[in-house]
Chains A and B, each alone.
Chain A
Amino acid sequence: MTSDSSKPRTIKTIKINVDKCNGCRACEVICSAFHAQPRYSSTNPARARVRVIREPLASIYVPVYAGEYTAAECAGRDKYTIDGKEYAECAFCRASCPSRGFFKEPDSDLPLKCDMCESDPSLKEPLCVQWCLTDALTFEERQVEETPAPAPEEVDAGLEALANKHGWDKVRDALGRLAKEE
């Protein structure tokens, strides 16, 4: 494991202002078109990596982005009430999860995940943001420093603690094994 201790990393954030969302689903439309093969050859919001949770009569409109796949649904669920409005169970969760219809390819059930419109050359803004003219979705990029490597004294102290607990032999064996795997 080698890491250049001062390399900056880019964090891409889509900021979602649910108060500005007008429920139009343009984000879903264009996302699905972008990921069609060939590009833009079809559209189908069921394949989109962003879905708008809409409950018009509760005045609820929440664009949610597809995150990680999960094989099993959560045993415990959450349900939020904000400003007097009760949101559906799991409303804010990004998982592609067996308990919901979103974020799966309709025919194969393969999980979908937002890739920030990865492409070459890269886009200046993700497409869902570009197509959201009401600015419910905006895009922000910022650079962060990689967490610096811990100082050597700290490593020494950590190893000493482990040796006190398990004995030096065991720590040496473990280090050797890990180094080989690396």
Chain B
Amino acid sequence: MRYAETGFNLEVDLTRGSIERVPTDPRLTELHLGGLGTNARMFWDRVPPEVEPFSPDNLLVFGTGLLVGTPAPGCNRTVVSCISPQTRFFAFSMMGGFWGPELKLAGYDKLVVRGRSPELVYLWINDGKVEIRDASRLRGLGSLETAELIRQELNEPHAQVASIGLAGENRVFFASIEQGRSSASRLGVGAVMGDKNLKAVAVKGSQDINIARPAEFLQMCNEALQFIKVREKNPIPGVMPILAGLGSPQEMAIHDEKWHTENFAWGNARHRRKDFWTDEVKEAWTGTMETMRTRLLSCYNCPMKCGAAISVDTRMCSYMMKCFSKLTYTMAAFADLNFGLRIAQKATEHGVDAFSAPQTMAFALELLEAGILTEKDMPGLPASNEGKFYWLLDRIVRREGIGDILANGTYWAAKEIGKGAEEYAHNNIKKTEQLPLKLGMLNPIYFLMYCTGEKANITQIEGNFPQAPFNTREEREAFVANWEQVPDERFKQWFLEWETRGEKSIPQYPSVDATCEIVHWQEKMHYIDDATGMCAGLSSFPLKPPFHIHILPKLISCGAGLDLDEARLNHVTRRNRTLVRANNIRRGLTREDEKPPEDHWRKRFPELEKKLLDEYYKFKGWNLDGIPTHATLHELDLDYVAEDFLRRGILPRETASPPLPGSSKGGAA
């Protein structure tokens, strides 16, 4: 019997219209767990680097994490993978909500879609019965409208539906896949779904998910729930309110947005507004939220309710949102929250990423102001500021006129427009838009995370270590007193000594070595979550979460019937992380790609930055070009990657031995 996982993938070839239920190799579970780990392996095995994002050979994989659907609170993540049209690298965009557990309950760990359907279709997975169905009448409809119509057509009110809107159908590079409460938004996974002519996937399941060691597993779940109760009553002092508790940043529940509105940049990641959060703004925005937010919503089997139903002029729910998408449209347009929540409804129905879309629109208006684009490029552009944003959104998702260019995101659009437009596409890493942050002093920890985060999204690598030092030694001592989540005591020491100014402050402190360890720890926790399907909100993202490195090996073992301790879980995680990188190295990722936006910090330190990257690469067991060495690959049972690298000339033969210093026993664990 297989535990936690079902042991089957659902393989659908949309070109041939074939559907297969394929047993999976239990050895792959031992090597990679599930979710991102097994996705990365599948892409390595089946998607050679020549495959274009919009090719029938590109795979679109919905991979549930290993523990998804078990009673472990918050284990509901699906990792959606494909080759991204925007970065042209291996994409892994996560969605929570309800879809992943339902797929598991229907009896599949992954849905693997290949080929391209001649007509627009949707997929209906009802336990063992799977159909490809006509979706022509859904063409052009919004993502939520689509989900609703499919549920009606099937007469299945409780089917879970993941769908694309107009943006996905028109292959907008930052199109999302929406599923009501959650979405897979980053890196254009919705565009690849649209390219496959797949409008939606509806799923309903009623199979059992087995637990290997039930009593122990349940006890761990109960302890986590108890921990959550206590932790929620004790927010961390000295941290901005939305980050003081658990879950995603609590922007649906908490009205205080001083931190985001004053520290993040408005417009096209351009302007800080330092005294923005006045009493009047606070009152007005609280009023907006209190009127339009009609219910707080959780994902499957999680108490955290990070999301909310937003009601636009109705008692019903118009759409659902969470986190910073609350503010991205408002801030891009220098508008108020009311505007932001209203346009987000349209954007959700069209299915676009709430980081990239507003920035791309603000970028277009900057180009207009700079005379790089002219009124002629935007015939019919309304006079009002807010009207302009609605107009641009519409052009982009329809790929009409200038929208066709903007639909590729700021990086590719700037290249196509030329005339100096590149200067304005200033907030990208690896060709994709980042959070709108522009700061003063280089932070070494964030420098490395921005450079090397394979997902090119800071929230998917930062987490368990505080973002900034606390003011006083006393506060820091209080913080480390019950910090059981750290891998070892050194992390406490580094935090204790971290000062806001003086010798022991950024950029020189934490030291290069400590920085490598801190970054590695935070990243590691995300890779574990991405393999188990645990929501980052209960594990890798917040400070002092219920799930951490001293708990997860046992939880995974009891759930899935594996035999993991910390060392073994660290090893598997390193293997997964390295394999993700290997996919991208093979697709051309170089050290040159690994840098933050030039203007991310005003004060930069080229020598220190070089040293940081050199040392981190070594720490990870990569060479100075950022390529995993032979020794590292061998140690991680990835000799097949090394062979491929040799064949392609990515790794030279002569480094086969001896290994680079620090590569085989690098501190990375």
Residues of A participating in the B interface, judged by any CB pair closer than 8 Å: 22-26, 29-30, 33, 36, 38-47, 54-59, 61, 83-85, 88, 101, 106, 130-134
Contact = CB atoms under 8 A, between A and B. Distances in A.
Contact of B317 (A24, A26, A56): A56
A39 B216 CA distance: 11
Contacts of B209: 42-44
Given A40-B217, A43-B70, A57-B148, A23 B105 contact: no
Contact of B300 (A25, A47, A59, A134): A25
B316 A42 contact: no
B87 to A, nearest CB: 32
A26 B73 contact: yes
A84 B294 CA distance: 14
Contacts of B86: none
Given A22-B303, A23-B298, A58-B317, 17 more contacts: A22-B297, A22-B298, A24-B302, A26-B301, A33-B71, A33-B214, A36-B208, A39-B214, A56-B180, A56-B297, A56-B309, A56-B317, A57-B317, A59-B294, A59-B315, A133-B228, A133-B303
Interface string B177-216: 0001100000000000000000000000111111100110
A163 to B, nearest CB: 58
Contacts of B148: 57
B225 interface: yes
A24 B316 contact: no
Contact of A56 (B181, B207, B228): B181
A57 to B, nearest CB: 5
A42 B210 contact: yes
A42 B208 contact: yes
B11 to A, nearest CB: 24
A85 B71 contact: no
Contact of A133 (B71, B180, B225, B299): B225
Contact of B316 (A30, A33, A58): A58
B243 interface: no
Interface string B277-308: 00000000000000000111111111101000
A56 B320 contact: yes
A90 to B, nearest CB: 12
Given A24-B301, A55-B157, A131-B225, A38 B214 contact: yes
Contacts of B315: 59, 83-85
Contacts of A133: 225, 228-229, 303
B121 interface: no
A42 B211 contact: yes
A22 B97 CA distance: 12
Contacts of B301: 24-26, 29
B135 interface: no
Given A43-B69, A59-B294, A26 B208 contact: no
B218 interface: yes
A29 B75 CA distance: 12
A83 B210 CA distance: 41
Contact of A106 (B180, B206, B211, B316): B206
Contact of B214 (A40, A57, A83, A84): A40
Contacts of B211: 33, 40-43
Q: Among B144, B214, B229, which residue has the most Cβ atoms of chain A within 10 A?
A: B214
Contact of B311 (A45, A46, A59, A131): A59
What 8 A-B pairs have minimum CB-CB distances, sorted nearest first? A46-B206, A40-B214, A133-B303, A24-B298, A42-B208, A106-B206, A22-B298, A59-B317
B158 interface: yes
Contact of B305 (A22, A30, A131): A22
B294 to A, nearest CB: 6
Given A85-B315, A133-B229, A43 B299 contact: no
A106 B225 CA distance: 29
Contacts of B157: 55, 88
Contacts of B210: 41-42
Interface of B: 69-71, 73, 98, 105, 144, 148, 157-158, 180-181, 205-211, 214-215, 217-218, 225, 228-229, 294-303, 305, 309, 311, 315-317, 320
Contact of A57 (B144, B158, B207, B305): B144
A134 B208 contact: no
Nearest to A85: B315
8 contacts: A22-B295, A39-B214, A40-B71, A41-B214, A45-B105, A56-B297, A58-B316, A134-B298
B320 A44 contact: no
A54 B302 CA distance: 16
Nearest to A33: B71
Contacts of B317: 56-59
Nearest to B215: A40
A23 B217 contact: no
A16 B185 CA distance: 35
Nearest to A101: B158
A54 to B, nearest CB: 7
Contacts of A88: 157
B7 to A, nearest CB: 14
A44 B127 CA distance: 13
Nearest to A105: B206
B524 to A, nearest CB: 28
Nearest to B319: A57
Contacts of A30: 71
Contacts of A85: 315-316
Contacts of A42: 208-211
A44 B181 contact: no
Contacts of A41: 210-211, 214
Contacts of B144: 57
Contact of B309 (A33, A47, A59, A131): A59
Nearest to B299: A24
B296 A22 contact: yes
Contacts of A101: 158
B605 to A, nearest CB: 46
A23 B303 contact: no
B555 to A, nearest CB: 14
A30 B315 CA distance: 31
A55 B180 CA distance: 11
Contacts of A38: 214
A44 B105 contact: yes
Nearest to B205: A46
A58 B205 CA distance: 23
Nearest to A41: B214
B440 to A, nearest CB: 39
Nearest to A107: B206
A64 B139 CA distance: 36
A128 B218 CA distance: 14
Given A24-B298, A41-B211, A44-B208, A59 B316 contact: yes
A132 B73 CA distance: 11
Contacts of A56: 180-181, 297, 309, 317, 320
Contacts of B206: 44, 46, 106
Contacts of B309: 56, 59
Nearest to B217: A40
Contacts of A33: 71, 211, 214, 218
A101 B303 CA distance: 26
A61 B208 CA distance: 24
Q: Among A24, A58, A88, A101, which residue has the most Cβ atoms of chain B within 10 A?
A: A24
Contacts of B316: 57-59, 85
Contacts of A22: 295-298, 303, 305
Q: Among A26, A39, A55, A106, which residue has the most Cβ atoms of chain B within 10 A?
A: A26
B70 to A, nearest CB: 6
Contacts of A46: 105, 205-206
A26 B295 contact: no
